[in-house]
Copies of this chain bind each other. A is one copy, B any other.
Amino acid sequence: MESLCDAAKVLKSNGVRVTPARVVLLEALHSRRGPFTAQELHANLPARSADLVTVYRFLARLVKASLAREIVGSDGVAYYEMACAHNPVHPHFECLSCGRLFCLPLFREEDSARVLDYGTGHRVESVSVVFRGTCAACLANELEEGKK
């Protein structure tokens, strides 16, 4: 409940220096709910606190340390989300109409187990389940359009 969330510690123990820029980034990361792109994250940072390149580099580190997960949208843009104990692996939904990426509720335990135990013949480090289609909001809009 604090272990994995204290990314700073994990990083330090991996020989990663916890610099001011990184502290700001970690704070920003904590205040995020859904998945975000590097650019979105950077845009919401206190002015001049970290360069976009630094954001990219830091996110890459987090992912390598399994402290963040990467979800690649169908347009090839990478989304991120923290991977602490508060936020276990779960499926996502990508709306092909508005482009938004949503977190979906967890699979039921038994279903997760099935997916995770799937024998791939390789060394699995992560699994990603992405549903694609039209989100509820866009569906509603389509209906509106239809009426006209």
Q: CB within 8 Å of B: which of A80-130?
A: 91, 93, 95-96, 102, 104, 107, 111, 114-115, 118, 120-130
Give complex CA distance A132, B51 in Å.
29
Give complex CA distance A135, B124 in Å.
8
Give complex CA distance A129, B118 in Å.
11
CB distance from A104 to the nearest CB of B (A): 6
- Interface band, chain A: 35 or more
Stretch at the interface among A2-10, A16-24, A71-79: A71-79
Provide the residues of chain B in CB contact with A133, threshold 8 Å.
120, 122-126
Provide the residues of chain B in CB contact with A115, threshold 8 Å.
111, 115, 129
Give complex CA distance A120, B105 in Å.
8
The answer to whether B139 and A131 touch across the interface, beta carbons within 8 angstroms, is: no
Task: Indicate which residue in B72, B102, B111 contacts A74 across the interface (CB closer than 8 Å).
Answer: B72
- Is there a chain B Cβ closer than 8 Å to A136's Cβ? yes
Give complex CA distance A111, B95 in Å.
24
CB distance from A120 to the nearest CB of B (A): 5
Of all chain B residues, which has the CB nearest A124?
B133
The answer to whether A132 and B125 touch across the interface, beta carbons within 8 angstroms, is: yes
Provide the residues of chain B in CB contact with A118, threshold 8 Å.
91, 104, 107, 131
5 nearest CB pairs, A to B = A76-B76, A125-B133, A124-B133, A123-B134, A123-B133
